[in-house]
Amino acid sequence: MAPHGHGPDSETAAPEWRGTVRAAAAGPTPDQAWALLGDFCSLDKWVSLVQTCRRLEGDDGRPGCVRYCAGPVNMAAPGEAVGWSKERLLEVDAAGRSYSYEVVETNKGFGRYRATIGVEPDPAGCAVRWSFEADPVEGWTLEGFVGFLEKLAHGVAKRLEEEIMANVDGDPAALRVF
């Protein structure tokens, strides 16, 4: 889906960014994908640019839980070797296969950033859906940021395909616990 921006009528206020990206995963059912992607503190398994993801505080999978994510890319500060963020889980909708979170601290140039990641049915199997609301990010255009998230979402879908289909022994309806 295309990005869209809006904001207050004030000419001095930067418009809020909003956008949604979607990437299909061939084979896995939404429930199979959610069994893996629904773990808030496992982002390093699914997003290639996240090398570390661990719980800092709160209970795993419960609103209020804070995770620390870090990786080698920091577009806001190219001289810094690591880009990192602390992100708070806001809500989990297990039946709807989604969770919402916000960035509470980062060196990546974000001000306010809130996102929802979820899994939904798709003719191919399932799709990863990532929507966000954010203040404009220094050094980015809205279109560039949405394009970046599209690449991440497609990478997540591909990793889910590989992981799930490698663990179902030819039966796409079965998912081993691993």
User: Is pLDDT above 90 for 146?
Assistant: yes
Helices 30-37 and 142-166, axial angle in degrees (round to 10): 110
Torsion sign (Cα): 102, 131, 152, 110: negative
Tell me what the pLDDT averaged over the chain comes to: 86
- Per the CB < 8 A criterion, the answer to whether 69 and 77 are in contact is no
Residue with token string 């929802």: 116
In the structure, what pLDDT confidence band is assigned to residue 176 with cuts at 50, 70 and 90? Answer: very low
Phi, psi of 43 (to 5 degrees): -60, -30
Domain covering 16-166 in this structure, CATH number: 3.30.530.20
pTM for the whole thing?
A: 0.83
Do the beta carbons of residue 41 and residue 151 sit within 8 Å?
no
Report residue 29 CA to chain centroid gap. 19
Ranges of each domain in the chain: 16-166
Tokens 């060196």 locate to 107
Cα(97)–Cα(147) distance, integer angstroms: 24
| pLDDT at position 6 | 40
Which conformational region is residue 108 in: left (phi greater than 0), alpha (psi within -120 to 50 degrees), or beta?
alpha
More confident residue, 41 or 176: 41
Confidence band, pLDDT 50/70/90 cuts, at residue 174: low
Task: Tell me the per-residue pLDDT of 22-37, one tens digit each, with 9 for 90 and over.
Answer: 999 999 999 999 999 9
- Per-residue pLDDT of 54-103, as tens digits, reads 999 999 999 999 999 999 876 656 666 788 999 999 999 999 999 999 99
Q: Are 132 and 115 in contact (CB under 8 A)?
A: yes
Cα of first residue to Cα of last residue in the chain, in angstroms, is: 33
